[in-house]
Amino acid sequence: MATQERLWIDPAEVERYVLELAQHGGDGTGVRRLVYSPEWVAAQDLVARWCEEAGMEVRRDAVGNVWGRLEGTEGGPSIATGSHIDSQNPGGRYDGALGVIAGILAVRAVRERYGRPRRTIEVVSLCEEESSRFPSAAFWGSRAITGRSTPEDAENMRGYGGETMAEAMRAVGLDPARIPEARRNDIETWIELHVEQGPILEQAGLPVAIVNGLPSIRHYVVRVDGRSDHAGAMPMDLRRDPMAGAAEMISGVIGTALQMGRPAVTTVGRMLVEPNFPAIVPERVTFTIDARHADPAQRDRLYAAHEALLREVAERRGLNVSWEITADLPPCPADPDLVRLLEEVAAEQGIPTMTMPSGAVHDTQRMAEIAKVAMIFVQSKDGRSHTPAEYTAPEHAAAGIQVLAAALHRLAY
Ligand code: HGY
Ligand code: MN
Ligand code: MN
Ligand code: MN
C-alpha cells in the first residue's frame, strides 16, 4: 500500500462546529440535550444539514438516528462512523458530539480530495447513548441498529419524569411500532471517534489514541427498605434505618473497587430518599451502582463482591434489600486488524498515538454485534468529562479527525 498523502482538517472549523452544535441545549460551558427533547431535535436537524453540505444523502431511521450516506461505486456493505449527540444532564460539549462532527468533517475531507469512494461510507448521529432521560435505555439508537431495541421496550421504559419512551417518540413524530425497521445488517466496519474522558493521553503528552478494547459495565438500581420512625423519639438501637444501611453499602462497594485496583471502577451517582425530610428516619433509600471492569473474570469478582456486601449489610441491620440490573454489557475487544490499520494510518499522517483500552463504554460496543469495530480517542483536558468542564483542544480534535479520514480513505477508496 502506497503511503497516503497527508489530509488536512482545520482545527478552527472543528471548534466552530462544536460551538454551533452546543447552542442547542447549551448550559454555560456544557449542554443538557436529552433524547427527543426540542434541543435534541434541533441538534439532529443541524447534523442532517451538515451531512448534506458534506455531500451525503440524509435519512432518519425509525428511532431518530440521523444517517448521512456517501454511496460507493461498488455498493456492498458500508464503512460507518459516528457517535451520539444526546448528553449527560449536564454534560460537556464534546462527549459524543465530537464523534458525529468528526464523521462529517472526515467524509467531507476525503470526498473533496478523492471524490466518490469505491465502498459506501456512512455517518450516523445516534440517540440516547447516555441513558440520561431513560435510565434503562442506554445505547437506544445503536441497540435499534443491531435489532435489540423493541416496540415493547419503548412501551415499558420510563424516563426520570415518568413518561414512557413510546410517548417521547410519538411526541417527535416517531412510531414505536416501526423500531425494528432501524435494524441494519450491511455495516462491515465501524470506527467511532470520541474524547478520551480520562487523563491518560494528557499524561502521555499525546493528542490521539487507538482504542483496543472497551470494558464491561453493569448498572444496578438498589432498593433498601427499612422502617420510618421519629428522629427524636426512636432510640438508635431500635431503628431499622435504610439510610444507615445505604451509607454502609455505598462506602463498601466503592471501597471494594478501590481495593481491587485499576481498572475496576464503581460509582454511586444517584440516590433517592423517601420521604426525604430531616426529622423522619427514612422508609426507603434507592441508589444506583455503576460497576465496570475490562477483565471478564475480575468483572465477575467485582459484581459478586458488591452483591454479597449488599446482602450482608441488609441482614445485619434488619433491612430488606433488592435490586434491578438495568444495563449489563460484556467487555468488547476491538478488531485487531482494524486497530493495526488505525495505528498505521496515524503514523502515515505523522500523528503520534498510543494504543489503550477505553474506560468508558460506547455505542461501539453495540455496533460490535454486527461489524468489525475500533475507536479513536482524542485528548481530554485534565481528563474531565460528564461535566460542563469537559474540553478538548481543537488541534487534538483535528488530529483525531485526520486519522479517521485517513482510515476512511484506506478502507473505502
Ligand atoms: O458512561 C459512559 O461510559 C458513557 O459515557 N455512556
Ligand atoms: Mn458520556
Ligand atoms: Mn459518549
Ligand atoms: Mn413532632
**Which residues partner with 322 through β-bridges?**
223
Pairing of strands 271-274, 284-293: antiparallel
How far is residue 266's CA from residue 230's CA, in Å, rounded to a whole number?
A: 33
Q: How far is the CA of 211 from the centre of ligand 3 (A)?
A: 14
- Extract the annotated binding site for Zn(2+): 84, 95, 130, 194, 386
Q: Which segments of 286-353 does DSSP mark as H helices, in order?
A: 296-317, 336-348
253 assigned to some structural domain: yes
Whether the pLDDT of residue 287 is over 60: the answer is yes
Q: What is the mean pLDDT of residues 98-119?
A: 98
- Does the beta carbon of 360 lie inside 6 Å of ligand 1? yes
Residue 160 has pLDDT above 90, yes or no: yes
Q: What is the domain-level CATH number for residue 15?
A: 3.40.630.10
pLDDT of residue 185: 97
pLDDT at 361: 98
Ligand 1, residue 385: give the atom nearest the CA. Answer: 5
Mean per-residue pLDDT, 7-30: 98
191 Cα–ligand 4 center, Å:
61
| Maximum pairwise Cα distance, the chain | 82
Same-domain pairing of 299 and 318 = yes
Read off the pLDDT band of 3 (50, 70, 90): low
Based on the domain organization, do 158 and 49 belong to the same domain? yes
Looking at 269, 297, 329, the residue that finishes a domain is 329
**Domain housing 279:** 216-329
Three cell numbers at 205? Answer: 503528552
Contact 180, 370 (CB under 8 A): no
pLDDT category at 118 given cuts 50, 70, 90 is: very high
* Distance of CA 226 from the midpoint of ligand 2 (Å): 34
- For residues 197 and 101, membership in a common domain is answered with yes
Provide mean pLDDT across the span 141-155: 98
Q: Is residue 381 part of a domain?
A: yes
Give 194 Cα–ligand 3 centroid separation in angstroms. 7
The average confidence (pLDDT) of the chain is: 97
129 lines ligand 1 (CB under 6 A): yes
Cβ of 361 below 6 Å from ligand 1: yes
pLDDT digits (tens, 9 = 90+) for 206-225: 999 999 999 999 999 999 99
Closest CA to 102 of 117, 86, 120, 123: 123
In terms of domains, do 337 and 310 share one? no
Statement to judge: residues 178 and 73 lie in one domain = yes
Look at residue 404 and tell me if it is in a domain: yes
ipTM of this complex: 0.92
Q: Is residue 5 part of a domain?
A: no
Among 55, 35, 56, 24, residue whose Cα is nearest residue 142: 35
Cis peptide before 263 (omega within 30 of 0): yes
Residue 356's DSSP bridge partners are 211
Average pLDDT for 348-365:
98
Residue 1's pLDDT band (cuts 50, 70, 90): very low
The pLDDT of 106-120, averaged and rounded, is 98
Average pLDDT value for residue range 186-203: 98
Number of the ligand 1 atom closest to the C-alpha atom of 131: 6
Within a 10 A sphere around the Cβ of 324, how many other Cβ atoms?
12
Binned at pLDDT 50, 70 and 90, residue 373 comes out as very high
Do 172 and 58 have their domain in common?
Answer: yes
Is residue 6 assigned to a domain?
Answer: no
Same domain flag for 77 and 189: yes
Q: Could you say which of 307, 329, 351 is where a domain stops?
A: 329
CATH of the domain at 273: 3.30.70.360
CA 84 to chain centre: 7
Percent of the chain with pLDDT over 70: 99
- Please indicate, yes or no, whether residues 312 and 341 belong to a single structural domain of this protein: no
Residue 2 has pLDDT above 60, yes or no: no
Phi, psi of 69 (to 5 degrees): -135, 125
Q: What average pLDDT does range 137-154 have in this prediction?
A: 98
- Residue 25 is assigned to a structural domain of this protein: yes
One domain, residues 187 and 230: no
pLDDT at 7 over 80: yes
Q: Which of 329, 361, 390 is the last residue of a domain?
A: 329
Is any ligand 1 atom within 6 A of the Cβ of residue 257?
Answer: no
Q: Please tell me the distance from the alpha carbon of residue 107 to that of residue 54, in angstroms, as a whole number.
A: 7
DSSP string across 84-151:
E----TTB-SSTTHHHHHHHHHHHHHHHHHH-S-SS-EEEEEES-SS-SSSTT-TTHHHHHHTT---H
Q: How far is CA 88 from CA 112, 132, 352, in A?
A: 34, 5, 30
SS (H, E, C) 253-292: HHHHHHHHCCCCEEECCCEEEECCCCCEECCEEEEEEEEE
Position 409 pLDDT exceeds 50: yes
Write the pLDDT tens digit of every residue in 224-265.
999 999 999 999 999 999 999 999 999 999 999 999 999 999
Tell me, yes or no, whether 283 and 207 share the same domain: no
Residue 323 lies inside a defined structural domain of this protein: yes
Other CB atoms within 10 Å distance of the CB of residue 136: 18
CA of 393 to the centre of ligand 2 (A): 18
192 and 300 both lie in a single domain: no
Q: 394-412 vs 11-22: helix axis angle to the nearest 10? A: 100
Count: domains in the chain: 2
Q: Which atom of ligand 1 is nearest to the CA of 88?
A: 5
Q: How far apart are the C-alpha atoms of 103 and 301, rounded to whole Å?
A: 38
> Is 34's C-beta closer than 6 angstroms to any atom of ligand 1?
no
| Residues 115 and 164 reside in one and the same domain | yes
Residue 310, in any domain of the structure: yes
